[in-house]
């Protein structure tokens, strides 16, 4: 039962905190079964205060008391952190990594035993249970392991299983995507300000519109291009705006944004 498992977060920074808050909010795992370790005192203090979980400084203590160990450290630190813990990580524990660019095989290679590894690419909207995550299995992880982690992350939004060679593409769209969406919302609201709206009003209009458009895609199952055409009337306002976006190469810029983000993710490991 997922409610009975003990989750241990190695690292308690921004992403870990967002996931922890999302899990607590969903009530899929009780707060007393979640613990984190963090070497930065200020970060540990903030996470403990904001989530209400216990945050310790001893990684070995965390591993010994956890069934699932979620790696929330920087990609370059994964090897050194796990090297110190490999003797106490046993095959009955599940390693879950959210580190961009770090393959399951590189994590498995640190151990001389068959440790199950799941790789996850989440995003920060898990904080408000509207996240989008993708998972892939390492060679020792089972479908049961994957199903368990899918259930965990579905409680914080959407979750899909993807082939590992596509995970960097996932990073380019959904992993880093919230930042791209924030820029678009901010730009649209600036346009509103330029036309006389107050900033807070323009932001609300842009943010709700973005959320509504996304929900239309997900709920109707219609292709975004078809939904776009349904809003666009001959000689109307919408086609005038779309024409500007095409002339300014917005579509091309967003495609290149995903490509460059995915490329950078592939180099992090």
Q: Which domains does the chain have, with CATH numbers?
A: 2-169 (3.40.50.720), 177-268 (1.10.3730.10)
Nearest-angstrom CA–CA distance, 199 and 194: 9
**Confidence at 132, pLDDT banded by 50, 70, 90:** very high
What's the average model confidence in pLDDT over 79-102? 95
Q: Tens digits of per-residue pLDDT, 93-111?
A: 999 999 998 999 999 999 9
Neighbours of 239 (CB within 10 A): 15
According to the model, what pLDDT value does residue 268 have? 82
Q: What is the pLDDT of residues 174-196, one digit of tens each?
A: 999 999 999 999 999 999 999 99
Q: Which residues pair with 134 in a beta bridge?
A: 121, 160
How many angstroms separate the CA atoms of 269 and 108, rounded?
14
Query: How confident is the model at residue 254, as a pLDDT?
Result: 98
Name every residue whose Cβ is closer than 8 Å to that of residue 194 and which is 6 or more positions away in sequence: none
Which SS3 state, helix, strand or coil, does residue 8 take?
A: strand
C-alpha–C-alpha distance, residues 122 and 158, integer Å: 9
Residue 105 pLDDT: 96
Q: Would you say the C-alpha torsion 73, 79, 84, 88 has a positive or negative sign?
A: positive
pLDDT one-digit tens code per residue, 214-242: 999 999 999 999 999 999 999 999 999 99
Residue of 51, 48, 58 whose CA lies nearest to 30 = 51
Per-residue CA distances from 37 to 77, 217, 232 (Å) = 14, 39, 52
CB 97 within 8 A of CB 71: yes
Q: Residue 11, SS3?
A: coil
Q: How many helices (H) and strands (E) does the chain have?
A: 12, 8
Pairing of strands 131-137, 117-121: antiparallel
* pLDDT band (50, 70, 90) for residue 1: low
Return the pLDDT at 2.
Answer: 76
pLDDT of residue 3 exceeding 80: no
pLDDT at 23 over 90: yes
Mean pLDDT of the chain: 95
Which SS3 state, helix, strand or coil, does residue 60 take? Answer: helix
Confidence of residue 139 (pLDDT cuts 50, 70, 90): very high
């Amino acid at each position: 039962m997922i409610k009975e498992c003990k989750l241990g977060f190695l690292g308690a920074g921004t992403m870990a905190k967002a996931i922890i808050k999302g899990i607590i909010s969903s009530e899929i795992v009780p707060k007393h079964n979640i613990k984190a370790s963090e070497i930065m005192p200020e970060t540990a203090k903030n996470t403990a205060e904001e989530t209400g979980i216990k945050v310790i400084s001893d990684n070995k203590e965390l591993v010994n008391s956890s069934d699932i160990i979620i790696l929330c450290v920087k990609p370059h630190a994964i090897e050194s952190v796990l090297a110190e813990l490999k003797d106490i990580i046993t095959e009955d524990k599940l390693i879950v990594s959210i580190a961009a660019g770090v393959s399951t095989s590189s994590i498995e290679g640190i151990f001389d035993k068959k440790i199950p590894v799941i790789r996850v690419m989440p995003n920060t909207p898990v904080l408000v249970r509207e996240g989008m995550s993708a998972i892939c299995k390492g060679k020792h992880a089972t479908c049961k392991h994957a199903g368990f982690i899918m259930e965990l992350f579905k409680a914080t939004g959407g979750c899909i299983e993807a082939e590992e060679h596509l995970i960097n593409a996932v990073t380019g769209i959904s992993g880093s995507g919230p930042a791209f969406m924030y820029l678009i919302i901010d730009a649209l609201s600036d346009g509103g300000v330029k036309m006389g709206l107050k900033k807070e009003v323009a932001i609300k209009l842009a943010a709700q519109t973005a959320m509504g458009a996304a929900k239309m895609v997900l709920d109707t199952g219609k292709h975004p291009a078809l939904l776009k055409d349904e809003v666009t009337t001959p000689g109307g306002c919408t086609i005038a705006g779309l024409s500007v976006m095409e002339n300014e190469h917005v579509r091309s810029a967003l495609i290149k944004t995903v490509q460059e983000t995915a490329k950078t993710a592939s180099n992090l490991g």
